[in-house]
Amino acid sequence: MKKVPKQNKSNHSVPNLERALTILELLAGHPEGLNITEISNQLEFPKNSTFRITSTLLDKGYLYRDEKSKAFSLTGKLLSIGYSALSEETLIEKSIDVMKALRDELKETVLLGIMVHQKGIVLELIPGLHSIKFWVDVGTIFPSNTAAPSKVMISYMAEQEQEDIISKMEFKRFTDHTITKPAAYRKLLKDTKKKGYGSDVGEEVEGVNCISAPIFNRNGYPIAAIWVTGPAERLPEKEFDDIGAVVKEHAMIISQRFGHYLEAV
């Protein structure tokens, strides 16, 4: 098997850190995952050292471990860190004009957000054109069991990543419509991916509805989402499919700016 090439060592290098980074690089080339024996053999690392390092990376959320095969694979955390290095400003710059266009078309408040671990964060907001409009401060954290953007982003993640997020969610009840059971949430994620948009039907705030669509990077990973929010009277559930199609169209414009294109059918 091909071995990851060794790098020139610095006088100030930390052996276990070097091994951890080498393991991450190896797993990047094996999306199907590798178990401890395979990692140890390919890199010629002691098994006990490999076990300690992979256990630490697992605890920190950089790796998943399949309970059946015991194989380790990368999570999306490294992608999140890499994306952060590009700065939130890059995402906002590529999204702001599209958000304004979506606001102008639907007249409702439009928001942009990302996932950090199992929760979402609002990055930007374009106020609606109605005299009564929804407003939330930039930096607000939203719960993933209710929020439309969280649902749609998570629905496009790998199953293992979904399960990792679900296992850490609180499933707090806010209204009678709030989803509080993991099984019901898993079913919702499947339905959300089929539709291509996420929704919040008064699940956090009674009478306030949201419709969201994902923003993908060039590899098809959901790096963010945009969504519209407003009173149920102006965003009724019976019109979700039509509104969702408009939100998806605008989200795809932003995705294309990150190099994502739908395959021809």
Residues 155 and 97 in one domain: yes
Residues 127 and 152 in one domain: yes
Global confidence as pTM: 0.68
Domain of 202? 81-257
Q: What is the mean pLDDT of residues 43-52?
A: 94
CATH number at residue 245: 3.30.450.40
- 261 touches 252 (CB < 8 A): no
Query: Could you tell me if residue 63 is inside a domain?
Result: yes
Supply the pLDDT for residue 209. Answer: 96
Q: What is the pLDDT of residues 15-30, one digit of tens each?
A: 889 999 999 999 988 8
Number of domains present in the structure of the chain: 2
Residues 98 and 61 in one domain: no
Query: Could you tell me if residue 8 is inside a domain?
Result: no
Confidence class of residue 5 from pLDDT cuts 50, 70 and 90?
Answer: very low
Cα angle 87-121-194, degrees, rounded to a multiple of 5: 105
Residues 156 and 237 in one domain: yes
Residue 186 exposed, middle or buried by CB count within 10 Å (0-12, 13-18, 19+): middle
Beta-carbon-side half-sphere exposure of residue 53 (alpha carbons within 13 Å): 21
* Least confidently predicted of 96-105, 125-134, 193-202: 125-134
Amino acid at 52: R
Res. 181: pLDDT tops 70: yes
Supply the pLDDT for residue 81. Answer: 63
Residues 95 and 154 in one domain: yes
Residues 86 and 204 in one domain: yes
Q: What is the pLDDT of residues 106-122, one digit of tens each?
A: 999 999 999 887 788 89
Percent of all residues in the chain with a pLDDT value above 90, rounded to a whole number: 63
Res. 88: pLDDT tops 60: no
Q: What is the mean pLDDT of residues 35-55?
A: 95
Residue with tokens 């710059």: 93
Residues 42 and 124 in one domain: no
Residues 240 and 150 in one domain: yes
